[in-house]
Amino acid sequence: MIEHNVKASRSEPIIVAEDLTMAFGDNVIQRDLTFTINRGDVFIVMGASGCGKSTLMKNLIGLQRPAKGNVFYGDTNFWDIDDTEKQRVLRRIGVMYQGGALWSSMTLAENIMLIIQEYLAIDTDQALELASLKLALVGLAGFEQYYPSEISGGMKKRASIARAMALDPEILFLDEPSGGLDPISARMLDDLILQLKSSLGTTVVVITHELASIFTIGNNSVFLDTETKTMIASGNPKKLLEECDNPTVRRFLTRGAAEPLIKTIDLS
């Protein structure tokens, strides 16, 4: 049941989820999800912890077959095609998993080169050059030979994004990119995402419950509700804040500002 839908301004669908139900065995996590991610969107998947955001990403990127419904990449019905065609679709996407750590025994450059050399027939020098370009893209030029343990949390997130960008993806999936970061580092990451979108035209799907990010970078979204186990809003988050009257969505987008979530404790 979609209670509120604010239309996004762009109109070239790049991913369409149609009547999607996601489940683990008999345990339905979300049902009846229908939404469109358009080319050039920064599309936010939002909702409370445990509502099924990461599970939705797995259904979209081929890691988990939906219990019901379809995922279209353009005209291609992803879960209907053979493995070779699936690989062709997956080659167009880059993924940063939730808590997705870099390989700690490898330098930043090696982390990226491993992916590049798996897919592209190029020698080590060329791969290093490409890896350096990716690191420069996320503001980490000169850090090629550093190990993950030698850089800050924000830098690790950026290096993970560089790794997800290794093969120049058309669509980038980021699961909780700013989780655990201080507000300034989180803000820098938001700026980076907007920069990737505007300079490379990458469509970015961001899973997050960070309000500041949602409003700063998102132009389209879907809101997954834990209680009803379905989407209860979609569209531009800023417009949802202005116009959506679903109480769960409002509480989430205003951090429950209108009502006390717990009773004030009298310390006197």
Residues that bind Mg ion (CB under 5 A): 53-54, 98
Minimum CB distance to ligand ATP smaller for 97 or for 146: 97
User: How far apart are CB 46 and ligand ATP at their closest, in Å?
Assistant: 9
In one-letter notation, the amino acid at residue 73 is: Y
d(CA 244, CA 253) in angstroms, rounded, equals: 10
Q: How far is CA 2 from the centre of its chain?
A: 21
Q: Phi and psi at residue 130, in whole multiples of 5°?
A: -65, -40
d(CA 187, CA 33) in angstroms, rounded, equals: 30
d(CA 67, CA 199) in angstroms, rounded, equals: 37
Q: Of the ranges 9-17, 43-51, 132-140, 163-171, which one interacts with ligand ATP (CB under 6 A)?
A: 43-51
Residue 103 is a binding residue for ligand ATP (CB under 6 A): no
User: How far apart are CB 164 and ligand ATP at their closest, in Å?
Assistant: 17
d(CA 20, CA 33) in angstroms, rounded, equals: 5
Residue 54 is a binding residue for ligand ATP (CB under 6 A): yes
| Three-state secondary structure call for residue 250 | helix
Question: Can you tell me which of 7, 12, 19, 50 binds ligand ATP, judged by CB under 6 A?
Answer: 50
d(CA 47, CA 30) in angstroms, rounded, equals: 12
Q: Of the ranges 48-56, 81-89, 102-110, 195-203, which one interacts with ligand ATP (CB under 6 A)?
A: 48-56
Question: Can you tell me which of 36, 55, 117, 202 binds ligand ATP, judged by CB under 6 A?
Answer: 55
Question: Can you tell me which of 31, 40, 52, 225 binds ligand ATP, judged by CB under 6 A?
Answer: 52
Give me the residues that bind ligand ATP (CB under 6 A), please.
Answer: 24, 29, 49-55, 98
